[in-house]
Amino acid sequence: MPHRKGEDLFNPGLIPCKDCQGYKWLRWQVWLCRLAVLPLIVFHWRPRLGVLARCRPCPLALAEILLLTDDSGLQHVVEVRTEEMEEGCLELLGQQEEDEWRDDVQLLNVEKTLLRYFVLQGLRYVWLDRRETFCPVGVLNEDQTCQDLHGFLKGLSPREQSMRRTMFGKNLIDVPVKSCLKLLFDEVLNPFYVFQVFSIVLWMCDDYYYYAGCIILISIISIGISLYETRKQSIALHNMAHLVTDVKIRRESGEEDSVSSVELVPGDCLIIPEEGLLLPCDAALLAGECLVNESMLTGESVPMLKTSLPADDRTYSSDTERRHTIFCGTHIIQASGGRPGGDGAVAVVTNTGFFTAKGDLVSSIMYPQQCSFSFQKDAMKFLFILGLIASCGTIYIFVILLKANVTWSELIVRCLDIVTIVVPPALPAAITTGTIYAQKRLKKHGIFCINPPRINVSGKVSVFCFDKTGTLTEEGLDVWGVMEGRPAGFSELVPDPKLLPPGHMQSALACCHTVKLLRGQPLGDILELKMVESTGWNLQEPEGDGDVVHAEFGGHKVLAVMKPSNQQPLFQGTSSSEAVAIVQRFPFSSALQRMSVVTVAHGGRSALAFVKGSPEMVTSLCGADSVPPQFSSTLRTFSSEGLRVLALACKPVDVNSDLMNMKRAEVEKDLQFLGLLMMKNLIKPKTEDVIDILTKAHIRTLMVTGDNIFTAVNVAKSCRMVGPDDKVIFVTATPRTAQSLPTLRFSLEDEVAQSSTYDMDQGGPPDYHLAIDGKSFAALRDHFPEDLPKVLMKATVFARMTPDQKAQLVKELQSLNYCVGMCGDGANDCGALKAADVGVSLSEAEASVASPFTSKTENISCVPLLIREGRCSLVMSFSLFRYMVLYSVIQFCSVLILNTVKTTLGDIQFLFCDLFLVTVLVFLIGRGGPSEQLHPCRPPGRLRSLPVFGSLFLHTCMIILGQLAAFFITTKENWYIPLNSTVFGKDNLPNMENSCVFELSGYQYIFIAAVVTKGYPHNKPFYHNRMFLCFLVLQLVVMTWLVLDPCPFFSQILQLYDFTNMIFGLLLIVVAADNFLVCCLLELLIDLGLLNCLRRLRGARPSKKQYKRLKVVLSDSASWPPLDQTQTPTDQPVVHFR
């Protein structure tokens, strides 16, 4: 058995491999396989077979070839490479890695130090013997602390850089652009074209020269177009990913050298110029501040301030330290405060190549995440069913021809010809045309997609989650008022912060922010810009080396200066003309729900720290004696009115301490509560209409926000996510502590509870929504897993959710078999957007690492449009699938009937049916657009369903009956001339049997396209597809002309028998019309539920979707949720469902 160690092999964010097997080459088997061409083609399709045929299993430590299986079941074959390294150079990576590598060297018994690695989708994996597996090379730096990163300020020696370059590889996001010859080779070896080559050879053997020639021409054109598009996309992606520039790094000697960004390695000390640059790597900011634009990665167009990383013992992670990490591909607009003279900044390289954020974006485009949607898989499985049908047809033809005493060569050709008819090689390409048209329509509306298969998935969305700020509500905020807090209570509401008396509250509003100046214009978060603007204070930044400014504030290094514009006192004993300097910033963290600054008064006489954040978090950091007793009721009042509420606090700091190097934990504790800032956040004009559309379409809508729960509930009511008469029940869960057990409680809003008239003993009201915050959500997941699915079924508002919790929520909903959509601005929603089945990022960028869909629309109106296009594409895919299958059935029946009487279809007849009739219709069916409205019923998503199989079976029966009717009507006519039975095949053409079956089947190709093309409710009626309708009419006219009065020239070309009897031609048309009407009637009855009677025979079965089963149980439960009862894990009511 091959050596397996799959559980340790991982690939962050791309392909977690669940199985890894090692193999070594067997040279004689390799040469044996090279002597045969066919095995090499099979190995190209199934690399695993190639490994098994040419290799033997071995331990991973000795493997030359690895067979990897990812979580989606895809297999990858990679070659293990070795590279010589300098002796002893691994010691530079630290003791742990040194020991690991020394073990590896002893295992291999090699005197030289060898690096063993492989590259999968751009990521390099190295062998670590202690772990007995290959790990991403980034794991060598995974335990680095923030203090360790500060140790790189001195720079790397040339030897260290050389070693690290060998270990980590070049800093390139290299998207290979294959040569035309390589692309042609890959395209021709596609199973579709291999089958085409087999078919063409077969047709040539059967003297179908015209048909084979046309297929060759079409294949050449198709391959040419495919090569052009593939190469064009590869070049575009290569140019987007390619980023090579000159950067300046610090050497160990202290010198600063300009090098190519390709040579950067993790650990390099990067010097960022004042004017900024396009960063070619991920880097942690060690000194200074940078104003950056991350729109390409997160979709967030507002510039963000990055501050220097604190030098503490925390383990560094780019996810948790986002405010101190600058990501590859972001544009650094301005850098300051990091070097002597005040210009520029200093950072350390943390990731290079495909391990960077931009590399993750490129990988998501090159190797899109596999979705669990079953349509494509079912379509491929159905090809095997057609293969079985072809086998039956082959056996039948074999018997018929054997009785006819044909030659063995003709018998083999005829039998194989059946396979080329029944199995349509163009099926996989045909069913994607609807998706291609949908993608083009979405692009016209400013919605860009980097993963087209997700378009079909969007048609099955059953629940859609929305971020609040910037998604449901306007990005901008207006200051609504300020209330100062004192131990005795709150002061009166001050609508304008300029009217505040001089004091700490006014200073906090003016200074607690991360706003920067760019060419004299303030840039930063819109909330902070509005807050600073409301105070009337002015922002200034030191110029040049800033020594004069530093001296004015006691010699402290100043980041920014805030000056009041009025003549009121600023601090007690000072005049308002004196400014306040910001000397340290700790940017806002979603996980911490706060930000803070350290300020110094003019002259350096005193220092204060200010903290701004969520009221609950800020008060938890304040002394209890400084928080007004009315805090909770006041916060609830303002939040319930839909206001964005922020709390501010301060604390005195020792002005003689090292303010620049203060730890965040020291600043944000033992605070004194200052007051509340209320800001009005208006709902976007389109929000209410979109939520109403989704609700009417029976698509659940959820709000997932980091804001206060009462504010979120108010916004949910304002946008009709919660109906005006619906009740809101708050879910409060607490974790286990040393003194208490975990608890769970359901309670109504105060005002609802007072006016409610329903019986509390009967549980919750019929129409109710649950609201829960992040802390309760975490406790619910940990301590009340039985209640979690029920809460998810009824919860509409999720507040105070961290980015990780948003992603967890999406996965929990998916575990209930929901198809989950997520819409956000991309900033704090990246994890949820990527985890969702359909993620939509509202961004100006055309592609974002955040999600497969990016919309340039500034509101959520893109969501119903995307769902409508998804439903249209999905329905079209079903229609095209059924049409391609029935097209094969029509031709299969024609050939079987004609072969039975020793004739067949002619060369030009095949050409006429396949090109003029079928191919044109396949490319035109998908042009129909989506319906203007979202219907409450979602389209089916599985091909293996009773309506699909029933429809195909019934239409197949009608097709057979139609052709047999035409055949027997012809043979019963008194002028019928029997076929010459001494010859077989095309030598009998033209004849009556061939002509009647060909003409009837021609009508079937046309009307089946009309029958299976769905309109209402998800698509526009097919007559809106004018080009499709025009070609249908044209084809009907041509077929009618061929039946009634064809000119001799076309009769000769098509080898048609000239029926001089006009009555017979009209009779054939009547048969075709009857066939069409019966198929239409059957399709209508199937849509109306004709086949449901078969389901009744087997009895009612519960839904396969867990959320549907749970919904039935909850609707019948009178005991859940238990209101105003505090539960522990041992006494909660149990709701069972199957």
The residues annotated as belonging to the active site are 467
Specify whether the CB–CB gap between 614 and 636 falls below 8 A. no
Of 301, 175, 292, 282, whose CA–CA distance to 845 is shortest?
Answer: 301
- The one-letter amino acid code at 16 reads P
3-state secondary structure 74-118: CEEEEECEEEEECCCHHHHHCHHHHHHHHHHHHHHCCCCEEEEEE
Cα distances (Å, whole numbers) of residue 487 to 127, 484, 626, 673: 61, 10, 5, 9
The DSSP letter of residue 273 is P
Asked if 697 contacts 462 with a C-beta cutoff of 8 angstroms, the reply is no
φ, ψ of residue 506 in degrees (nearest 5): -65, -40
Of 60, 1031, 883, 63, residue with least CA distance to 433:
883
CB proximity list for 541: less than 8 A, separation 6 or greater:
336, 516, 517, 559, 560, 561
**Residue 914: both structure tokens together:** 């396949």
Q: How many residues does the chain have?
A: 1138
CA angle at residue 173 from 170 to 178, to 5 degrees?
A: 110
Whole-angstrom distance, CA of residue 820 vs CA of residue 813 = 7
Half-sphere exposure of 835 (CA within 13 A, CB side): 20
Torsion angle (degrees, nearest 10) of CA 953, 958, 959, 962: 160
Q: Residue 403 burial (CB < 10 Å; 0-12/13-18/19+)?
A: exposed
Distance between CA 967 and CA 993 in Å, rounded? Answer: 6
CA distance 54 to 28: 8
Residue type, 1106: Q
Tokens 């090569």, residue located: 227
Q: Where are the alpha helices (DSSP H) in 555-702?
A: 615-620, 631-640, 664-667, 687-696
Please identify which residue in the block is written with the tokens 């919309």: 855
Beta-bridge partner residues of 25: 55
Cα dihedral 914, 916, 921, 924, rounded to 10, equals 130
Q: Are 619 and 626 in contact (CB under 8 A)?
A: no
The side-by-side arrangement of strands in the sheet containing 580-589 is 489-490, 478-486, 672-680, 643-653, 607-613, 594-601, 580-589, 560-563, 538-540
| 30: Cα separation from own chain's centroid | 40
> C-alpha angle 529/535/541, rounded to 5°?
60
Instruction: With beta carbons less than 8 A apart as the criterion, state whether 704 and 466 touch.
Output: yes
In contact, 649 and 545? CB cutoff 8 Å = no
Q: Tokens representing 463?
A: 């629940």
The answer to whether 114 and 85 are in contact (CB under 8 A) is: yes
Joined tokens for residue 286: 């060690």
What is the distance between the alpha carbons of residues 477 and 470, in angstroms, rounded to a whole number?
10
As a three-state string, the secondary structure of 865-923 is HHHHHHHHHHHHHHHHHHHHHHHHHHHHHHHHHHHHCCCCCCHHHHHHHHHHHHHHHHH
Where do we find the tokens 């199995």?
Answer: 423
Cross-strand pairs, 4: 21
Tokens of 447: 């919605």
